[in-house]
A and B are shown apart, each in its own frame.
Chain A
Amino acid sequence: EAQVTQNPRYLITVTGKKLTVTCSQNMNHEYMSWYRQDPGLGLRQIYYSMNVEVTDKGDVPEGYKVSRKEKRNFPLILESPSPNQTSLYFCASSRGQWGTDTQYFGPGTRLTVL
């Protein structure tokens, strides 16, 4: 089954404790992206990747890092999480380098930073 998976689905952590949210797709897509969704602010793009080792910033990259060492995986790293990063996070992938085709979303990761 074609899908985008995220782990963990739920995470409660404390300020400053490094964490990684994994994202994996099995569709051989070049493009992958991370978003956060907050009430009243909607979905905002954090980072995106056009292919292995190629990434670029979205609208809200501060406090986040990403890496794309393999085509199928695009982890989101919070080196020193803060309470304002409490949010619902979505990973997505798309065929083609620029993601200009239909995007497929993962189920989301709900992160709470205390």
Chain B
Amino acid sequence: KQEVTQIPAALSVPEGENLVLNCSFTDSAIYNLQWFRQDPGKGLTSLLLIQSSQREQTSGRLNASLDKSSGRSTLYIAASQPGDSATYLCAVRPNAGGTSYGKLTFGQGTILTVHP
């Protein structure tokens, strides 16, 4: 059974700092990996989606990398801002064929606080 772990569980940084969030998964047979952001009391917003054949994806100040063989992904946030404060979750989709493509397994998230 796929297990997804995110480290650290919480992170507090001063504004302007570059930071890295980590996501690891136990089964490397994945179809893709997605990073989400969740604001308090809100639903999830997709940030980046990396296909299994890709090494990284970038969107603005965000860069996500994927090392499928080692079961790891990192989310890099450059020049952090207070508005980046949220919970960040990663989720993996299995590459096991059939209807299992529809499954999605989440990590427990990293709570990020960026203080002015």
Contact = CB atoms under 8 A, between A and B. Distances in A.
Interface string A38-54: 00111111001110000
B42 A48 contact: no
B88 to A, nearest CB: 12
Contacts of A102: 34, 46, 49
B104 A99 contact: yes
B23 to A, nearest CB: 12
Interface residues of B, number: 24
A56 B42 CA distance: 26
Contacts, number: 65
Interface of B: 31-32, 34, 36, 41-46, 49, 89, 91, 93, 99, 101-109
Interface of A: 4, 31, 33, 35, 40-45, 48-50, 56, 58-59, 90, 92, 98-108
B102 A56 contact: yes
* Secondary structure dominating the interface of A: strand
21 contacts: A42-B89, A42-B107, A43-B44, A43-B89, A45-B105, A48-B102, A50-B102, A56-B99, A58-B103, A59-B105, A98-B101, A99-B93, A99-B101, A99-B102, A99-B104, A100-B101, A102-B46, A103-B46, A104-B46, A105-B36, A106-B43
A85 B52 CA distance: 34
A108 B44 CA distance: 9
